[in-house]
Chain A
Amino acid sequence: MTTDTTTAATTPATTASRTKALRGLTALGGVATIASTFLSWTYTDEFPGDLTVYGYPGGLQVLTLVAGALVLLYALAALDIRGLRWLAPTGTTKALRLLALGAFATTWFTVVAIAVELGGIVNLEPGGFVAAVTSAIPLIAFLLPDDTHKATRPRELPSWAEILIIVAAFGTGLYVVTYGIDTEYAELFTGYMITAGFAVTALFKAGLMARLSGLTTKYRSIAVAAAFVAAAAFPFTQTTDQFTLIAVNILIFATVALGLNIVVGLAGLLDLGYVAFLGVGAYTAALVSGTTASAFDVHFPFWAAVLTGAAVSLIFGVVIGAPTLRLRGDYLAIVTLGFGEIFRITVGNLDGVSGPQVTNGPNGVPNIPDLVFFGYDFGESHTILGIELGGYANYYLLMLLAMILVVLVFSRAGSSRIGRAWVAIREDETAATAMGINGFRVKLIAFALGATLAGLAGTVQAHVQSTVVPEMYVFAGPVPPNSAFLLAAVILGGMGTISGPLIGATLLYMIPAKLQFLQDYQLLGFGLALILLMRFRPEGLIANRRAQLEFHETGQLDTPEGTLPESGVGTVKAGA
């Protein structure tokens, strides 16, 4: 995979040795970058993270260290070190370039941030300059010839090794996401996004992600269990409730986005008022929760509240869907947008003045009590396995169960007769009806199912927030989830996939939550990001096979083997 794939045909031997030398230099650059993080970069600890200590990387230096280590790893893989070739099935050069850029960008971001925040480059210690220079060395990778090739068939590993790899991959994934959620200041989060962005893209380019997703398809049940364990392990890594709350909100957002993905991604119905169903569920749960502010003097146990919330959402879904689903395309989008706003305004007016007193109008329903399951109070801390879990950890685990339910519904419905009918309707409604599909009925099922799942998430949300107000359910606003952000999470992540909306929702929630200083420019940046995405990756971050082929006409016949990421996990494969 290395020396024999050089470009020039004239003097293969010279070119080969030159390539080898360049790769060696890149590896050295990686080592130097790693070493530079052990130096002190600045004099004072005014810059967050304390970068003043020799021999102990801290804060952003850790990110540079990781980026440097990845450069080193892939440079060594390029040098054909035994065992490392497995990491780069489709070639190392592109990955190496991206990783070098990542290391360079992270380091320079840090150095520039120090200089800007503390007022001038005098604040840099020599170590900072050294880091700035050494991190540029791996950019040598841009002189390397491109060695992209078809994925090599790896030597068959024993299955225990493959399973171990899956477990390691999910462990790493958990660690990376946890690190992102736990970042305490904006600089660190920005650096994290830079490093993670470049590194993940590089791993895709190297074909490692495809190889891993191949493994997860092979050991599907183990992979699912590993993912679940990794997700459930998150609260155990937390010492305070601060970041667990963020994680709970991410889960709520992601679950609702996944529900919307049934409506938009599978059935192709553009629903711009989806957040209203979350609101219906949340309000229903709030009103039957036994809070003193509720107009009804009832206190349902949680399971009953969940069923009520989901059922009321279902009814709303059918009532709204029945007249609107006769419309197609743009008209449907406009009408759903209208219904979303109608919900918010109606709830705001049921305050005893403009209408009957049901929801306290704009004041909302406060003091929603914590859930209690057989004496297990969700609001209190509990000690499990010797680790103290805060109140939000309980909600996190509950929400995780809700999300698993939605994932299950999505994948099972998607790969069935009804799921095929949804996709057929999305592809060509006339042809689908001519094939005997009752278009209206099938679309109504998708719409109602989406509404029910959102209502389900809403019932948990009401208890997590302990207050529901109409302003939480707007079309567009700075705080997700709202209809625009939900749709963006689906489109950004990848329509019709499972992991797409999860990743989209995570990003869309974390970025505004972590980069508070962006507040005023958030929607602007967000719009720009969407435009860029539509230009360069219209199928979303995670593409299903269909979308990938739809948007990138390569003229080649597609290969049914899962060489693309996300093969078969989220896609509606008939064979699954």
Chain B
Amino acid sequence: MNDMTTTTETTTPVLDASGVTMRFGGLTAVRDVDLKVNAGEIVGLIGPNGAGKTTFFNCLTGLYVPTEGKVRYKGTVLPPKPHLVTQAGIARTFQNIRLFANMTVLENVLVGRHTRTKEGLWSALLRGPGFKKAEAASHARAMELLEFIGLQDKADHLARNLPYGDQRKLEIARALASDPGLLLLDEPTAGMNPQETRVTEELIFAIRDMGIAVLVIEHDMRFIFNLCDRVACLVQGEKLVEGTPAVVQGDERVVAAYLGTPFEGDTPEKAGTPDAEPAAADNAGSTTSTEGEGQ
């Protein structure tokens, strides 16, 4: 249960999901999805709304138990309980921010340390030297993480009082506090302006450089294609294509189902100006709604 961040020099993939299927009654939200994430990799997961991306995430993190299929983390099959998955080394953030709103920023990160600390009720009541040491270590680590995301000056603020962008960052810090080997980010830049998005991009690269593999869901294509080593596109619960950003971007099926045809011959590869991006996203949204009715 000690530090698991650095031991990623193995040939086994960090995450190996094979044949993951999730059915809710008659509805199959995720169908037979395979996905591998290797050490030191940033993998993107894209797809229209309702494609099953978040459901797939929930299958990975134990919030849902997949109907079929197996999820392996560094070679071992994950237990079907969220807290055990976190303990094993997978941490996540949520699409709609789920911070502990009425706890302070520091406390939020300290909660993230839960699996990596052991003191129970007795040591809390007796307050021996071991407790003080562990508590001090947790604090130090939490402050380190807050410095990493740049919130060290707001450690005593309530999480609910943070600006939106900071709340997103805090969620990432809270997830990192469990010393994960794999970080799952569910739309980390939703609602952010281009500058904040760029900062987040830098943050994710820095996390990768810490030796943590990252799997990220995002609708911001420029962000995804800049960031990821590989991208998988999920449509109607099935994996349509997987490959390098260039391959996925050029794939006709992805364009038809999700990316949409760019305006005035502007291809997605050249979507360099800030204005082109929202246009593409809008286009994607409309495609999504028509596609979604098919389900």
- Return the contact of A420 from the options B92, B110, B156 (Cβ within 8 A): B110
Task: Please state if A424 and B63 are interface contacts (CB–CB under 8 Å).
Answer: no
Least CB distance, B90 to chain A, in whole angstroms: 10
Task: Please state if A436 and B104 are interface contacts (CB–CB under 8 Å).
Answer: no
Task: Please state if B158 and A432 are interface contacts (CB–CB under 8 Å).
Answer: no
In the complex, B192 has a CB within 8 A of chain A: no
In the complex, given contacts A417-B120, A572-B107, what are 6 additional A-B residue pairs having Cβ atoms less than 8 angstroms apart? A416-B119, A421-B114, A427-B101, A434-B83, A436-B178, A547-B102
Task: Please state if A557 and B121 are interface contacts (CB–CB under 8 Å).
Answer: no
In the complex, B206 has a CB within 8 A of chain A: no
- Return the contact of B124 from the options A418, A430, A438, A545 (Cβ within 8 A): A418
> What class of interface size applies to chain B in its complex with A?
35 or more
Q: Could you write out 8 A-B pairs with CB less than 8 Å apart?
A: A416-B135, A418-B121, A421-B111, A434-B63, A435-B115, A549-B158, A558-B161, A572-B107
Task: Please state if A432 and B100 are interface contacts (CB–CB under 8 Å).
Answer: yes
| Residue interface mask B53-88, A partner, CB < 8 A = 1 | 000000001010000000000000000011100110
- Return the contact of A439 from the options B83, B111, B175 (Cβ within 8 A): B83
What chain A residues lie within 8 Å of B175 (beta carbons)? 435
| Residue interface mask B98-119, A partner, CB < 8 A = 1 | 1111111011001111110101
What chain B residues lie within 8 Å of A413 (beta carbons)? 121, 124-125
Task: Please state if B106 and A575 are interface contacts (CB–CB under 8 Å).
Answer: yes
> What class of interface size applies to chain A in its complex with B?
35 or more
In chain A, positions 341-400 with a C-beta closer than 8 Å to chain B are none
Least CB distance, B35 to chain A, in whole angstroms: 19
Least CB distance, A533 to chain B, in whole angstroms: 20
| Residue interface mask A419-450, B partner, CB < 8 A = 1 | 11101100110111111111100000100010
Task: Please state if A438 and B83 are interface contacts (CB–CB under 8 Å).
Answer: yes
Task: Please state if B87 and A574 are interface contacts (CB–CB under 8 Å).
Answer: no
Q: Given contacts A412-B124, A423-B100, are A434 and B110 in contact (CB under 8 A)?
A: no
| Residue interface mask B156-173, A partner, CB < 8 A = 1 | 111011000000000000
In chain A, positions 392-412 with a C-beta closer than 8 Å to chain B are 408-409, 412
Task: Please state if B98 and A431 are interface contacts (CB–CB under 8 Å).
Answer: yes
| Residue interface mask A555-576, B partner, CB < 8 A = 1 | 0011010000000000011110
Task: Please state if A419 and B124 are interface contacts (CB–CB under 8 Å).
Answer: yes
Task: Please state if A424 and B121 are interface contacts (CB–CB under 8 Å).
Answer: no
- Return the contact of B103 from the options A418, A423, A557 (Cβ within 8 A): A423
Q: Which of A417, A420, A545 has the most CB of B within 10 A?
A: A417
Task: Please state if B115 and A436 are interface contacts (CB–CB under 8 Å).
Answer: yes
Which residue of chain A lies nearest to B97 when distances are taken between CB atoms in the complex? A431
What chain B residues lie within 8 Å of A557 (beta carbons)? 157, 161
Task: Please state if B157 and A420 are interface contacts (CB–CB under 8 Å).
Answer: no
What chain B residues lie within 8 Å of A417 (beta carbons)? 110, 113-114, 117, 119-120, 124, 134-135, 138
| Residue interface mask B217-243, A partner, CB < 8 A = 1 | 000000000000000000000000000
In chain B, positions 130-189 with a C-beta closer than 8 Å to chain A are 131, 134-135, 138-139, 156-158, 160-161, 174-175, 178
